[in-house]
Amino acid sequence: MVLAIVGVIMQVSLLPALRPLGVVPNLMLVMVTLIGLEGTASTALVVAVAGGVVLDLSSGANFGLWIALLVLAALAAGLVHRAGIELVGSAVASVIVAVLTVVETVVIVLGLAGSVSSWPVGLLAGRLVAELVLNLVLTIGLQPLVRYVMPKATMGDIG
């Protein structure tokens, strides 16, 4: 829980201020996915809902987007657990994070369809690639930490 609180505060303060590569990495998406894969889906869902509400309160538009995105990440991680897929490497977490990063971008950009007169496709693609790279680096970098901190889920409490 401490990890989640630190994550959410960094997501609204330090990371948007630093903007590495000109984009804001999605630390909370990475954390929820990793908690769902390394711990239990229930824990990931609680973090997703609590973190999503805080991020939506910090956000000036699209209330509910963050709750929906993070809940999706937690459910996807839970489904992977239920399917019994091998979770030794970072591949599964990376795929979930990458897919949801694309989903997030598409939803935000489509939400602006009525306000935008011209679409800077190259710039949007560049930002998406930069965000994907940063999120995947965070996923690979944070996985050992989350694995160390989270109590390992047993067969009975994965859900």
Partner 1 sequence: MTDRVNFGDKANRRIWITVGAGMLLAVAGVLGQLGPLRWAYEHSVVPAGAGLASTGSTAAEALGNLGKVKDLARDNLRLEQENADLRQRLAADAETRRDNDLLRQQLGLEVAGAPRQVAAEVVAFQPDSYRQFVTINKGAGSGIKAGMAVLSGGELIGTIADTGNTTARIMLVTDPDFKLTAKDQDTGATGIVRGQLGSGLILDKIGQTDTVKPSDTVTTTGLGGLVPAGLLIGEVQSVNTRANVVFQTAQVATNLQVSQLRFVYVVLGM
CB-CB contact of 68 with 95 (8 Å)? no
Eight-state DSSP code of residue 3: H
Q: How far is the CB of 17 from partner 1 (least distance, A)?
A: 3
Sign of CA dihedral 49, 146, 96, 99: positive
Span from 91-99, 105-113, 136-144 in contact with partner 1 (CB under 8 A): 105-113
Please pick, from the candidates 108, 133, 137, 140, the single residue that binds partner 1 as defined by CB under 8 A. Answer: 108
102 forms part of the interface with partner 1 (CB under 8 A): no
CA distance 48 to 122: 32
The interface mask with partner 1, positions 36-75, x = CB under 8 A, is -----xx--xx-xx--xxxxxxxxxxxxx-xxx--x---x
Sign of CA dihedral 73, 79, 82, 86: negative
Q: How many residues bind partner 1 (CB under 8 A)?
A: 68
Please pick, from the candidates 11, 90, 135, 143, the single residue that binds partner 1 as defined by CB under 8 A. Answer: 11
Measuring CA to CA, which residue among 77, 76, 49, 46 is closest to residue 64? Answer: 49
Q: Which helix (H) or strand (E) holds 102?
A: helix 91-111
Contacting positions for partner 1 (CB under 8 A): 8-19, 22-24, 26, 28, 41-42, 45-46, 48-49, 52-64, 66-68, 71, 75, 78, 81-86, 104-105, 108-109, 112, 115-120, 123-124, 127, 131, 155-159
